[in-house]
Amino acid sequence: MTYDPLSDVIDEQLSISPEAVHQLEAFRVSEKFTALPGTDTAVEQVRLSEAFNELLDRLIAEVLSNPSKLWVMRQFQPSLDAVGMEDTQPTGQKLRFYPSAELARYAPSRQRRLSPPL
């Protein structure tokens, strides 16, 4: 069984207004990923924008019916999984999005407490 980092999330109700949904709709039609590194990134911009727009579509359609922190965070998982390792430059540098299963490696332990820097 794999660790789900969202299992550590404490769910809480969100206050989502119709205006917030209208802002998501406006953002949905805007151009995204216009400053990707590298040259000739048009195909990559389209692919990333489509994945992000799918996330926005889910939020726009259902966030008023599901105003919970955990529900919203779960909507990100398919989009992050879809673009988990996107090559953003011909040099091989990667724009790194961690798929939900891979996040477990970086999630802090439930018992471990980080102390503030001295």
20-59 pLDDT tens trace: 999 999 999 999 988 888 888 899 899 999 999 999 999 9
What pLDDT is stored for residue 102 in this prediction?
A: 47
Spell out where 15-114 has E strands.
85-87, 94-96
With residues binned 3-state (H G I as helix, E B as strand, rest as coil), the percentages for the chain, rounded to 5, are: 45, 5, 45
Assess if residue 75 is contained within a domain. Answer: yes
Domain count, the chain: 1
CA distances (Å), 37 to each of 49, 60, 90, in order? Answer: 15, 29, 10
Confidence of residue 63 (pLDDT cuts 50, 70, 90): very high
Retrieve residue 11's tokens: 């769910």
What pLDDT is stored for residue 4 in this prediction?
A: 85
Confidence of residue 118 (pLDDT cuts 50, 70, 90): very low
Assess if residue 2 is contained within a domain. Answer: no
Assess if residue 7 is contained within a domain. Answer: no
What pLDDT is stored for residue 49 in this prediction?
A: 93
Assess if residue 114 is contained within a domain. Answer: no
Assess if residue 6 is contained within a domain. Answer: no
Assess if residue 117 is contained within a domain. Answer: no
Domain extent at residue 40: 12-103
